[in-house]
Amino acid sequence: MVSLKRMLNKVNLKGFTLVEMVITLAIAIIITGIGAIELNAYKEKLILENTVAEIRSAVEQAARVSATNKQACVIKYFPDLKEIEFVGDNYFKSLKISQPIHVYNLSNLQISTTGSMAPHTITISNDKNTRKIKLQMTWGRAINDS
What is the tens place of the pLDDT at every residue in 104-137?
A: 988 778 888 888 888 889 999 998 899 999 888 6
Query: What stretch of H or E contains 93?
Result: strand 92-96
Contact call for residues 125 and 101 (beta carbons, < 8 A): yes
Backbone angles phi, psi at 7, to 5 degrees: -65, -40
Q: In what order do the strands lie in the sheet with 109-111?
A: 92-96, 83-88, 73-78, 109-111
List the domains of the chain with CATH numbers: 19-145 (3.55.40.10)
The mean per-residue pLDDT over the stretch 11-37 comes to 83
pLDDT at 139: 61
